[in-house]
Amino acid sequence: MYRTLLLGLIVLMVAVGRVKADEGMWLPILLKEQKFAEMRKKGLKLSAEEIYSVNQACLKDAIIGLVSEGPDNLRSFCSASFVSDEGLLITNFHCIMSYIERFSTPENDFLKYGYWASKREEESLCRGLMVKQLVRMEDVTDRIMEGTEGLSGAEYSRKIDENGKKLAEEVTKGKKLEMRVQSLFANNQYIMSVYRLFKDVRMVAAPPMSISKFGGLSDNWSWPRHTGDFAFLRVYVNEQNEPRAYNQKNVPYKTTNYLKISLKGVKENDFAMVLGYPASTKQYIPSFGLEAIIEKENAAKVQIRGEKLAILKQEMEADPGLRLRYSTRISSISNSYLKWKGEIQGVRHMNLIEEKRREEEAFQQWVEASPERKAKYGTVLEDMREVYKELSEYNLANDYFSEAGLNGAEIVPFIGKFEKLVAMYNGRKPVKEASQKSESNRLIGLTKQFFGNWSYEIDRKTFRNMLVRYYEGMPMKFHTEVMENAMKRYGGDVEKLSQDLFANSIFTKQQDLLDFLMSDKENGVKVITEDPLYQLSINYYRVFVERISRQRGAWQMKMLPLYKIFQEGMLEMKQDQVLYPDANGSLRVSFGTVRGCEPEDGLSYRYYTTMDGMYDKYLNNPNDSEYYLPKKMRDLYQKQDYGRYGDKDGRLRVCFLTDAHTTSGNSGSAVVNAKGELVGINFDRLWQGVASDYRYHRDICRNIVVDIRYILFVLEKYAPSSYVFDEIHIE
């Protein structure tokens, strides 16, 4: 498979100084030339080939990306790693929480009690979940850019696509492999990643939320942390050890390499390395781009999600039974909400926008010092600034559409799923009856699923508030006609408007909707198209396509060649420096040391936490479910029954901090010691340092890791089965 990726609006604005120690998410194929000497100086005991090689088993073989089935099935959302030769994977609980939620019922609540398989037959298929394993990575810049000299715009893009497709055919033809080409440094460099894609992934073990989400939303992005955020999956393959879709005859994958586990723990200043698939960063975004993100886009999204969270919390307090149904959704909403808040504060704290303006001034001075450079790069910075003035309007509109429109209330994207059926009956060309029936059956299944996890009143209130946010935040040209008419008809009374829309819509009544789907829809489809809630929801999509998406794409295309030219200038100006590209979902290596920090004046963080702190949180918050500790865990603590996992001082460590550079997508990443042994699983960052996506700051940027010894303690002492524990190889 081939898909050329343009990395959005990425500008590489290189800092005036050299890359700082511990900064960067490095390509494993370039470690030996770029950073290996520094890593050895910090304590690394491995050779470069033991980290990345195509000729021998190495760490890269054990590092996995979690991906979802879909059109872009190589885009990972979390990381994982093999910990046995039987395809056993360890990752974060929060990465696969939605699957555990799906398996759960009021009678068999895996979120409350944990998911513990005791034999292979009890491992449950995670439908739609796949994993990718890197086979090799290669710089293919020359191949991808072949024949592009003198081309620009659409012609340039077509040639890039053509070259990529040709390369993909060569690499994957006759092989069970997938290939992805990604650009670096604003399309000045291209890398190819070749993967095995495994489609049979099954749930093996996960602790209850009282362990895996201990501290809940209150502790998210914060320290001290006592969260056992881990889970285990298993990869299954055919009898030839090759990827295959789910089949009862599939067997566990025989891995080429897996991570060995160390019980020695970590101490301050120990070398630490993080291996995973970080999603994206904007380390080099220019000042005007960063200012728009922080002061406009993030500010709007924080307000919108804050209102959603307030509604959810209020309703869940009134009806505790909603917690099971909405746990994943509230976690997802809150996670981004806190991240964006942290980015705003972090950027302001670092005075980063002003710092980037100074860097841009230095670049312009360098350009002006040479007639040749002035001719090539003289106006590029100002040209980008002018284009971005237009682009930023559409970026903000896109955020409002996504947060308050499409995903404002759950009913909106659900209604959108009926558009295909409507088109079948209203289209000019006749559609086969079998196709119509198939689509109806698909929607019947989706309808049952939707209403099984939907609250009428939560969604109505959310719809009401999001309608206001969209109406007030969006410029008039992005308003929908249906919305305008409805607001005028109700005199701006959104409470009455939302009540009437929900009360009179077929989409809020499960049985009416199912009856419609199982009836003769030739004449009945009019019920759908004339439904006011349907009309408003579909109008969101139409406004997006006609007034936002196309225009935004056009401005992005104008920006891309400017970025490329600008990057050429930056690379030329900094040609004596070792630079790292922004994260883009490819395998990366980050490294640093285990260390605490002082993120704010008067605030000092020790580099680790213990079960003492966990028990204190439980005692001090007796009525808070976020800090509930199961009785068995309390008993183990009171007996100090830690087995071989406790420290010399008799305490059990739960989490620790490192200063490795991480971001979204690094959730579930392996954290290894100087010997390449697994010492923990990365799961979060300190909120004071989340602005590291825009500029790494060694003093405050910390990633949070659950100690592998705590994980093993839970598996051996708490889990009802030794099934997983017995399989893991401990050094």
Q: Would you give the distance in Å from CA 165 to the centre of its chain? A: 27
What separation, in Å, do the N-terminal and C-terminal C-alpha atoms of the chain show?
Answer: 39
The answer to whether the beta carbons of residues 699 and 692 sit under 8 Å apart is no
Q: What is the CA radius of gyration of the chain?
A: 26
- Label each residue of 265-281 as H, E or C: CCCCCCEEEEEECCCCC
Q: Which two tokens stand for residue 329?
A: 């959704």
The residues, any chain, with a CB within 8 Å of residue 106's CB and separated by 6 or more, are: 324
Residue 641 is given by DSSP the state: -
The residues, any chain, with a CB within 8 Å of residue 55's CB and separated by 6 or more, are: 49
State the Cα–Cα distance between residues 133 and 402, nearest whole angstrom: 31
Q: Which residue has the tokens 């100084």?
A: 17
Largest CA distance in the chain: 77
Q: What is the dihedral of CA 374, 379, 384, 390, to 10 degrees?
A: -170
Helix (H) or strand (E) holding 33: helix 31-34
Residue 243 is given by DSSP the state: -
Q: 125: helix, coil or strand?
A: strand
φ/ψ (deg, to 5) at 597: -165, 170
The residues, any chain, with a CB within 8 Å of residue 655's CB and separated by 6 or more, are: 224, 225, 226, 227, 608, 609, 680, 704, 705, 706, 707, 710
State the Cα–Cα distance between residues 102 and 124, nearest whole angstrom: 11
Residues present in the chain in total: 731
φ/ψ (deg, to 5) at 384: -65, -40
Closest CA to 500 of 471, 463, 527: 463
The answer to whether the beta carbons of residues 331 and 94 sit under 8 Å apart is yes
Residues recognised as catalytic: 94, 229, 667
